[in-house]
Structure 1
Amino acid sequence: MRTVLVTGPGGSGRTTVAAATALAGSRRGARTLLISADAIPGFPSATEPAQVTDTLWSVRTDSAEHFRGELLALQDQLSGVLGLLGGNQLDGEELTELPGSDQLALLQSLRRAARGDWSRDGYDLLVVDLPPLREALAVLALPEQLRRYLRRLLPQERQAARALRPMLAQLAGVPMPAQWLYEAAARRDAELAAVQALIE
């Protein structure tokens, strides 16, 4: 799969260039997916890939929905701990996205496209309408930065001692991280590695 990342100064027509690039690729017979955070006139505004022509699909990232989904999934995983602490469950309808969630939603769309979640036949060309240049550079650097943070927070070497965790918890008098936390970190690292490889 070939990936084309389109960025530039705000107001420079990058969304138009991205749409034109996707159209040109599909006219050459390439199965093409256009990913954009913005609605593009003449293209469907769906948050799942919608067919535009025989060989062209487009999808709009929904950062608010992505943020709610991720936070509610994390809340479900932590429900036991939250219950012990007397914490209240958050309702999805009361959640508003935080700054930076649009970048994470874009990365998730890249990962889903690369993994083939949206098409069993895959895509030949992926065209991504990135934000303005300064923000785009931050988005492109994000997977590597997040992977570095994950490795610092939950080093691989510590996972090797999983059999000793119950004993260490008794000796130290504090609970040790649950296995699901290490498994979740490993899954996230693999997802971020796939996006990083796609970007590189």
Structure 2
Amino acid sequence: MTATRTILVSGDHAAPAVAAATALHAARQGRRTVLLAADDPHRTLDAALGVRLESGPAPFAPGLTVARTDEQAAFRHALGEIGGRLKPALDLLGADPLDPEELTALPGTARLALLRALPEADADVLVVLAPPPADLIATLALPEQLERYLDRLVPEQRQAARALRPLLAGLAGVPMPADWLYEARGKAVGALAAARAAITAPGTSVRLVTSADARPFDELRRIRTGLALHGHRPDAVVVHGVLPDAAADSPDPWLAALARSRRDELAALTADCEDLPVLTTGPAEDTLEAAADRLYGAGPGPEPCPAGPWTVEDRLASDGLLVWHLTLPGADRADLDLVRRGDELVVGLGAHRRVLTLPSALRRCTVAGAGLHDGVLTVRFAPDPGLWPR
């Protein structure tokens, strides 16, 4: 079974049309394709396709199946995992449990629904109309964050002490956690691992969509930096609403001036994105097929571009230092927040934050300085004489 190619399409109001055109293009190339609407409360993808999407998969075109994530089902599933455990407590309090029909998904359930749907996709290509970029970055970071919380709150090592639990409870004078808590932890860890595997798979990438008149230079830099911080890199930027080349020679001076200005902005955006492909669509494509042809032609489309992992440079012989490098394209020094916390390095960039566990060699070092230059964060570590082997 071949690995699924997952494309997370995120951006402004044109993202639904780009996602639909991307999925249609993949299906026309003979690949089994699923188009999934995630975090789409206003059914914008329904309007782009001209059909009403339901939680169950439905055929749309040869080789193309469409569906949407079900937040209610995801919420009920999560609550059902602990509902039986809560019943004795509710009975003790004299409270009636909620009926399934009463349950309303809480904020954040859409992220969980998307994470649950990614590993379950049975397709050659999965195209997802993803949440806006800020929410998408938070969603992609969620499995790693939750795994870390579980390790701190319910450490796996405690499960080895089950036989000693009655003794420990007597010594501590308080009841120890019940077996169901560790069972729930095991299920949660398995689900998070599956979601994280789908997110970090080599075939998973993000495709950003922006408007030609938005001048999104700073915004795109921040989005790319946030993605890079969590180990992701866009495979392309789609600019929609690009005027045709002939508009620059229009007899209408206003239209000609606008077309030349947009052309210069597109050239500047292409240069700013460096080696990242920049694709374009017109102000209004007649059909999804026309949009797919303009975006991808007869080729397969952009390939995933995994973000480079952090690296450690050994300068012990020359400078007595180990230098930790993390590529963060577009990062601004003013947004950077860096904290050493025990064996971890907390890296903050504006609204985005990630806790990275240091490799064993760096744990025995002290931070000697840090810098951000040309989109690369470097942290210099000096060996701690009390911990470093002679």
Q: TM-score, normalised by structure 2?
A: 0.46
In structure 2, the CA distance between the partners of 1:50 and 1:166, relative to structure 1 (3 Å rule), is farther
- Structure 2 counterpart SS, 1:123: coil
**For 1:38-80, what per-residue CA distance to the aligned partner results, in whole angstroms no more than 9, with x for missing partners?**
3323344110222223421111112133223322442123323
Cα distance between partner residues in 2 of 1:32 and 1:44: 18
Moved more, 55-64 or 125-134: 55-64
Distance in 1, matches of 2:101 and 2:59, equals: 30
What's the offset of the Cα at 1:125? 0.7
Report the counterpart of residue 82 of structure 1 in structure 2.
Answer: 90
Q: Which 5+ residue runs of structure 2 have no aligned equivalent?
A: 201-390
Q: How do 1:154-193 and structure 2 match up within 5 A?
A: 154-193=154-193
Deviation at 1:109, TM superposition (A): 1.3
Alpha-carbon distance between aligned partners in 1 of 2:163 and 2:89, rounded to the nearest angstrom: 21
SS at match of 1:7: strand
How far apart in 2 are the matches of 1:81 and 1:163? 25
1:81 shift after superposition = 3.6
User: 1:95: Cα distance to partner?
Assistant: 2.4
- Are the equivalent residues in 2 in contact too, given 1:14–1:129 (CA < 8 A)? yes
Query: Residues 126, 67 of structure 1: CA spacing in aligned structure 2 closer, same or farther, 3 A cutoff?
Result: same
For residues 44-193 of structure 1, what are the structure 2 equivalents within 5 Å? Answer: 44-113=52-121, 122-193=122-193
- After alignment, is 84-93 or 175-184 more displaced? 84-93
Greater fraction of residues in strand: 2
The whole-number CA distance in structure 1 between the counterparts of 2:31 and 2:141 is 28
Equivalent pair of 1:32/1:57 in contact (CA under 8 Å): yes
Q: Secondary structure at the match of 2:8?
A: strand
**Which residue in the other structure is 2:305 paired with?**
none
Moved more, 46-55 or 156-165: 46-55
How has the CA–CA distance of structure 1 residues 189 and 7 changed in structure 2, closer, same or farther, with 3 Å as cutoff? same
Q: In the aligned structure 1, how far is the partner of 2:81 from the partner of 2:71?
A: 15
User: Per residue, is there more helix in 1 or in 2?
Assistant: 1
Check the 8 A contact 1:25/1:125 in 2, yes or no: yes
CA gap of 1:158–1:150, structure 2 versus 1, over 3 A, is same
Deviations 1:157-198 (CA, angstroms, capped at 9, x unpaired)? 111101111232233332221222112211211211111121
Cα shift at 1:25:
0.7
Q: Are residues 1:3 and 2:6 paired?
A: yes
CA contact (8 A) 1:44 1:52 kept: no
Q: How many residues align?
A: 190
Q: Partners in 1 of 2:60 and 2:166 — Cα distance?
A: 55
Match for residue 380 of structure 2?
none
Name the CA shift for 1:27/1:88 in 2 (closer, same or farther; >3 Å): same
Give the root-mean-square deviation of aligned CA atoms: 1.9
Distance 1:188 1:159 in 2: 15
Matched residue, 2:15:
14
Percent sequence identity is: 52
Distance (whole Å) between structure 2 residues aligned to residue 94 and residue 187 of structure 1:
25
Task: Output one character per residue of 1:80-99: Cα deviation in whole Å (capped at 9) or x when no partner.
Answer: 34334544312222222221
Cα deviation 1:117-137 (Å, max 9, x = unaligned): xxxxx3111111111111111
CA distance change for structure 1 residues 81 and 173 in 2, over 3 Å: closer, same or farther?
farther
Q: Which structure: larger Rg?
A: 2
The answer (yes or no) to whether the contact 2:10–2:132 under 8 Å persists in 1 is yes
Unmatched 5+ stretches in structure 1:
114-121
Larger relative contact order (Cα-Cα within 8 Å, sequence gap ≥ 6): 1
